[in-house]
A = this chain, B = another copy of it.
């Protein structure tokens, strides 16, 4: 009964218990295992069915064959401007398109296809597309950050007003932080954008996120690196997050990205931009695109062994970002191996696994012992941002102990000398 001989795009009829369903077979989405099939019903809903519960099935009409990729790549050639905005494609869900009739995955759009699919884009700004790489974001490496930073530099040198970067969402916040440090005072906005749901789904956020990114990149006076994603406030509201203050906090929701320890920089509702603040000054555009991946992010947990730190130091790791508990603590038996690493010249920076709030090593004994050992508290800097920053500091020959705690791009809140507590 379960001889599954239908392909994505086929129109099928399936009987489960007393219910019968008719619809198009969809390619697998992120919500099913191989033991499931998804059918798009005539009313627009998708329904997931367990294969071993199917009592009867028949193919009403076979779908079209896959047609393959039609990606168009327009390299940004020196001095040759093809519009206001350059869309740099790096890969991920947003840069691919699942054709639900055929099941074909197209690796990238051409600007013509994109303008046809999302007519609003053309009305916002003229644009070109450069397909820089096609990488799932879990495979993005620090060397890719360098390549993206250089491509953004080229785009601004070529005269584009802003750059939109299509990126997988898993590590988009790491890349946003890395680019924030690599690109000091960019001439215009650099906006990373992803999508949590592919464009075959009625709930896809690809179009609205791209519209938000284009709107911000083409009309904001802010200079810096940002992430544009669904805000969750309403269905067509996009939040613009500062690239060093944002995190992916949900595996699948459209509003997965949240600004942490500060408000979003702006919102875009429909085609209207509401800016809370303008980011960036009049400084010179400086690009330091190098990253040294001899850094590690280590999350503390009860029962953790001190040998982990010894191993990392022996491996040649030069900077270790710890995600401590609460205000930035680790168990007392870890202080000795950390101290030995610091004596060997390794930088140890402290962040918190709480995500929100700031570390403070002055309160409890453990914190003061960590301070004495030379661990550097990183305030309210996100651990992921601290990791990218440490790789950038190492890659550009800067002094980690001096640079890491400083607020270079808005990544950490400076201490105020006088505060009245709101008790």
Contact = CB atoms under 8 A, between A and B. Distances in A.
> Most chain-B CB neighbours within 10 Å: which of A45, A297, A388?
A297
A273 interface: no
Contacts of A305: 296, 315
B423 A331 contact: no
Nearest to A364: B136
A304 B296 contact: yes
Contact of A362 (B28, B252, B391): B28
B251 A34 contact: no
A302 B31 contact: no
Contacts of A300: 138
B249 A141 contact: no
Contacts of A328: 251
Question: Quick one: copies of this chain in the complex?
Answer: 2
A106 interface: no
A311 interface: yes
A359 interface: yes
A360 interface: yes
Given A31-B360, A50-B417, A304-B296, A138 B250 contact: no
A423 to B, nearest CB: 4
A249 B356 contact: yes
Interface in A249-308: 249-253, 256, 291, 293, 295-305, 307-308
A193 to B, nearest CB: 16
> Most chain-B CB neighbours within 10 Å: which of A139, A332, A358?
A139
Interface residues of A, number: 93
A257 to B, nearest CB: 10
Given A44-B423, A138-B330, A170-B325, 17 more contacts: A30-B327, A30-B364, A46-B421, A47-B420, A47-B421, A136-B364, A136-B366, A138-B366, A141-B302, A168-B326, A169-B326, A170-B329, A171-B325, A203-B423, A251-B358, A252-B358, A308-B311
Q: Which 3 A-B pairs have the closest CB atoms?
A: A251-B357, A170-B325, A170-B326
12 contacts: A33-B360, A33-B415, A46-B420, A47-B420, A47-B421, A138-B329, A138-B366, A250-B355, A251-B356, A293-B303, A295-B303, A308-B312
Interface of A: 16, 28-34, 44-50, 53, 136-142, 145, 168-171, 174-175, 201-203, 248-253, 256, 291, 293, 295-305, 307-308, 311-312, 315, 323-332, 352, 354-360, 362-366, 384, 387-388, 391, 415, 417-423
